[in-house]
Amino acid sequence: MLSNPGNLSTIAKNCLHLHGLERFFTNVTFLNIGKHGFTNSALPFGHFLNNGISSGISSGSKTIDILVGKFNEYNSLSDYQYTNSPFTAGFAKAIAVTKNIGSRIKSSVSLSSFSESMAGIYDQQNQGVLRKMIVTTISDRLSIGEHGTMSLELSRSISIYHANQNAPDSNSVSLFQKLFTTNNLSGNTSISFQYSDELDREGLRYTLHFNKTANGITIQVILI
């Protein structure tokens, strides 16, 4: 039971007479309300600081994670050295679907949107949405050997800016169209690769991490 807490929900379904919401909540893997950190993947949501709600629902080999909330900036806790963005307030929505393929492969597809403004910096006129972004991410995680794991993520983001707050939002439809074009493909596409494993004799765990984002390329080697 301690090694696999998920068995508790299975026992509850089989042994208890659950109906409606009671049975539904046995499929909820987590539920956060208020200010909290949210991590779904390394690129779009790595330690994302959310003020709203996030939840996960599991059904068989599939898991669905959802997020809705406000944020002060889209940088994560590990990105605070890049806090020169003029956008200080926004609203985020996201959904991610993960499927376990066998016991070693986990694949995920996510779609998220961000609406940002400069509310609180200048005056009330800047509280309207000035930038909208859509981010889509495909990721795969593979278990190798007894302790090794390898993950690869590919993410692309598209942004539009609103110069006239009173003009109709004519760019909302074209935002999805731009997501599937090849314009500036290298500039708005991010890649993350990570490999972790253990050396049993030395009692050492190591992680190799390669990250290519708009901020540049980073390579990390972590030894524990």
Q: For 73-123, how does the pLDDT look when each residue is reduced to its tens digit (9 = 90+)?
A: 655 444 444 445 555 668 889 999 999 887 778 899 998 888 877 665 444
3-class DSSP assignment, residue 174: helix
Band (pLDDT 50/70/90 cuts) for residue 12 is: low
In a domain, 107, yes or no: yes
Q: For the segment 59-69, what is each residue's pLDDT rounded down to a tens digit?
A: 878 899 999 99
Number of domains in the chain: 1
Does any domain span residue 2?
no
Cβ neighbours for 31, distance < 8 A, ≥ 6 positions apart: 53, 54, 55, 56
1 occurs within a structural domain? no
Q: Does any domain span residue 18?
A: yes
Taking CB atoms within 8 Å and a gap of at least 24, the contacts of 43-47 are 43/137, 43/153, 43/155, 43/190, 43/192, 43/213, 44/94, 44/110, 44/112, 44/135, 44/137, 44/155, 45/76, 45/94, 45/110, 45/112, 46/76, 46/78, 47/76, 47/77, 47/78
Q: 108: domain range?
A: 7-223
More confident residue, 170 or 208: 208
Q: Write down the pLDDT at residue 116.
A: 79
Residue 39 lies in a domain: yes
pLDDT tens readout for residues 17-60: 777 777 777 788 889 999 888 887 777 777 788 889 999 998 87
**Position 125 in a domain:** yes
Within a domain: 138: yes
Q: Per-residue pLDDT tens for 160-191?
A: 776 544 444 444 446 666 766 777 777 788 89
- The average confidence (pLDDT) of the chain is 76
Evaluate whether residue 129 is within a structural domain.
yes
Condensed to tens digits (0 to 9), the pLDDT of residues 106-117 reads 899 998 888 877
